[in-house]
Amino acid sequence: MRQLLIIGIGAGDPDFITMQAIKALNRVDVFLIPDKGDEKQALKQLRLDICDRYVEREFSWREFCVPKRESEGDYKANVAQWHAEIAEAYERLLTEVPEDGVAGLLVWGDPSLYDSTLRIVDSLKERGRVAFEHEVIPGITAVQVLAAKHRIPLNRIGEPVLVTTGRKLAQGWPSEVETVVVMLDGELAFTKIDPTGLEIFWGAHLGTPSEVLVSGDLAAVADEIVEKRARSRAENGWVMDTYLIRRT
Ligand SMILES: C[S@@+](CC[C@H](N)C(=O)[O-])C[C@H]1O[C@@H](n2cnc3c(N)ncnc32)[C@H](O)[C@@H]1O
């Protein structure tokens, strides 16, 4: 039976790869490499660099263009449509993998967190047009890297942490939570909430040579983060940032 290995590659530094991931990488015959356009060329290159660095056997790779998500209209319907289009791309590529072959998908960070690969793979299984078994190999998430770089635990003793998106935080501080980790924030949501009594631990391009870290009282450092984020985007052509905000 065809195998599909979904391998978490860590969020930034190629040294984040685990021993289990290296073993899995060395089972793969064909890597399926997404191409998300110019802005994400660096991420594509990083995946290829990981293959070159860790794979000690012959392998090939197939690039596929990731369709663009419609930004106008209903968000959830657009995401569902987008996932269906990606599922079709996976299906086409998987049918080209020999029936006893192993395909690999390298997922940024860990596949369990704000990544739809596993949902898309489940939908492929449901459609049942291509037979395969799949395995998931965990990776180090941007959230773990953020905590390590700032040398902080994520939670206060016995307290929960909410991991959410910039879009959600912009709607207001979630009730009954003291600590929030924010990902996928294209709208500087930390500037849209009341900063009183909040501290922030922010990081962009974590684990890469372009890494930037800022921490402090939100009111005091918000402008510095906005400025450093803009500069980082200008210098790199794109920016990925994650932050933790908690009540002081
Ligand atoms: C689509 S999610 C993928 C998360 C990934 N699966 C993980 O485990 O970290 C992309 C978001 O992750 C965060 N992120 C990923 N890599 C990052 C990095 N190296 N530095 C800062 N944030 C990062 C950013 O919030 C970005 O918008």
Residue-wise pLDDT for 192-214, tens only, equals: 999 999 999 999 999 999 999 99
Mutate to test the pocket of ligand 1, among 184, 190, 208, 243 (most ligand atoms within 8 A of CB): 184
* Residue nearest atom 27 of ligand 1, based on CA coordinates: 184
Structural contact between residues 6 and 109, judged by C-beta atoms closer than 8 angstroms: no
**Burial class (CB within 10 angstroms; exposed 0-12, middle 13-18, buried 19+) of 189:** buried
Please give the distance, rounded to the nearest whole angstrom, from the Cα atom of residue 110 to the centre of ligand 1: 9
What integer is the mean pLDDT of 77-96? 86
Count Cβ neighbours within 10 Å for each residue of 74-88 and write b for 16 or more, e otherwise. Answer: eeeeeeeebbeebbe
* Residue nearest atom 11 of ligand 1, based on CA coordinates: 184
Please give the distance, rounded to the nearest whole angstrom, from the Cα atom of residue 93 to the centre of ligand 1: 26
What residue ranges line ligand 1, CB within 6 angstroms? Answer: 11-12, 108-110, 113-115, 141-142, 183-184, 203-207, 240-242
Residue-wise pLDDT for 10-31, tens only, equals: 999 999 999 999 999 999 999 9
pTM of the model: 0.93
Res 175: pLDDT = 87
Distance in angstroms (rounded) separating the CA atoms of residues 70 and 47: 26
What integer is the mean pLDDT of 212-230? 98
Please give the distance, rounded to the nearest whole angstrom, from the Cα atom of residue 59 to the centre of ligand 1: 27
Please give the distance, rounded to the nearest whole angstrom, from the Cα atom of residue 182 to the centre of ligand 1: 10
Res 135: pLDDT = 98
Residue 90 scores a pLDDT above 60? yes
For all residues of the chain together, what is the average pLDDT?
Answer: 92
Please give the distance, rounded to the nearest whole angstrom, from the Cα atom of residue 16 to the centre of ligand 1: 14
Count Cβ neighbours within 10 Å for each residue of 107-138 and write b for 16 or more, e otherwise. Answer: bbbbbebbbbbeebbebbeeeeebebebebbb
Residues 6+ apart with CB under 8 A from 9: 16, 17, 21, 46, 47, 50, 106, 107, 108, 109, 139
Please give the distance, rounded to the nearest whole angstrom, from the Cα atom of residue 240 to the centre of ligand 1: 6
Residue 39 scores a pLDDT above 60? no
β-sheet bridge partners, residue 199: 217, 246
* Residue nearest atom 17 of ligand 1, based on CA coordinates: 142
Compute the Cα dihedral for 122, 5, 102, 87 and give only its sign: positive
Residue-wise pLDDT for 106-162, tens only, equals: 999 999 999 999 999 999 999 888 999 999 999 999 999 999 999 999 999 999 999
Domains annotated on the chain, with CATH: 3-137 (3.40.1010.10), 142-247 (3.30.950.10)
3-state secondary structure 201-226: EEEECCCCCCCEEEEEEHHHHHHHHH
Residue-wise pLDDT for 45-86, tens only, equals: 888 889 889 999 988 888 887 777 777 888 888 888 888 888
Regarding beta strands 60-65 and 30-35, do their DSSP bridges make them parallel or antiparallel, or are they unpaired?
Answer: parallel
